[in-house]
Amino acid sequence: MDRTLESLRHIIAQVLPHRDPALVFKDLNVVSMLQEFWESKQQQRAAFPSEGVVVYESLPSPGPPFVSYVTLPGGSCFGNFQCCLSRAEARRDAAKVALINSLFNELPSRRITKEFIMESVQEAVASTSGTLDDADDPSTSIGAYHYMLESNMGKTMLEFQELMTIFQLLHWNGSLKALRETKCSRQEVISYYSQYSLDEKMRSHMALDWIMKEKESPGILSQELRMALRELEEARKAGQELRFYKEKKEILSLALTQIYSDPDTSSPSDDQLSLTALCGYH
């Protein structure tokens, strides 16, 4: 722990040289420090050059407790985990969680290296029924994970998280299963989706899939949304990275909005509902 704290102080001294490392997390102006941190990183290494803004979102609420989310360049999302009595307090708490994770992301142990891949694969094998031999077979889950890590060698875990979130959503959405039925290999799917970011187009296609599911099983959308909201709240209170849970909520809310805004709309055409459309770009 002492070595980790010393490493964090070294990172703060590098990225925020005019700040006292011992006082960073006690400073009430943590919101500006988070913005300053990411601006400094982009100037130094052009990290996530296409997304240069730290974005805050406060949930509408007539009174406390208040909830605030902060989305970092690259898409990682964090929220306040404490019970906050004002919107400003919730915003500061979310910024503090995001700043701590941003600093930890700079540690050497958070960068994907050969040693990191070996340890991660061994942990994955220990938690599943797979074997180390599966790591060399991209058709297995362990092999696909190994391939994803190797394809992102040198990246930090926050950078890798965006790709992982896409595949978590594709798995949740049922698209990965559909792709397997078309005989697409895991390696082909990973290579393909590694080229894309999680954007409005991808969310719209996933929402379309859930509209289909709702037509087949009325009520499933509301059920999934309740579950997503519960998972999001539990993850927020635990101080976890939230993008997967928040994206689920956004996709399901979009699907419900589309259904209720035009309830008499006929079923989408076969072209719209093809696997090609659902998966986004094929």
pLDDT in tens, 201-249: 889 999 999 999 999 999 999 999 999 999 999 999 999 999 999 999 9
**Tokens 């060698």 identify what position?**
153
For residue 48, is it within any domain? yes
Domain's final residue, options 86, 105, 124: 105
* Ramachandran area for residue 87 (φ above 0: left; ψ -120 to 50: alpha; else beta): alpha
pLDDT at 188: 81
* Burial label, 95 (beta-carbon count in 10 A; 0-12, 13-18, 19+): buried
For residue 269, is it within any domain? no
Residue 70, SS3 per DSSP: strand
We report the CATH number of the domain holding residue 80 as 3.30.160.20
For residue 176, is it within any domain? no
Number of independent structural domains in the chain: 2
Domain's final residue, options 49, 73, 105: 105
pLDDT at 2: 46
For residue 147, is it within any domain? no
Residue 266 token pair: 């006929």
For residue 248, the enclosing domain spans 198-259
Whether the pLDDT of residue 35 is over 50: the answer is yes
Q: Given strand 55-58, what is the order of strands in its sheet? A: 55-58, 68-71, 77-79
For residue 23, is it within any domain? yes
**pLDDT tens digit sequence for 43-63:** 766 555 545 689 999 999 999
Domain's final residue, options 57, 90, 105: 105
For residue 279, is it within any domain? no
- Find the helix or strand (DSSP H, E) in which 57 lies: strand 55-58
Q: Do the Cβ atoms of 21 and 37 come closer than 8 Å? A: no
Q: Percent of the chain scored above 90 by pLDDT?
A: 39
For residue 96, is it within any domain? yes
Residue 190 token pair: 């990973």
For residue 170, is it within any domain? no
Q: Do the Cβ atoms of 152 and 234 come closer than 8 Å? A: no
Is the model's pTM score more than 0.95? no
Q: Do the Cβ atoms of 74 and 48 come closer than 8 Å? A: yes
Positive or negative: CA dihedral 133, 139, 140, 145: positive
- Whole-angstrom distance, CA of residue 282 vs CA of residue 263: 29
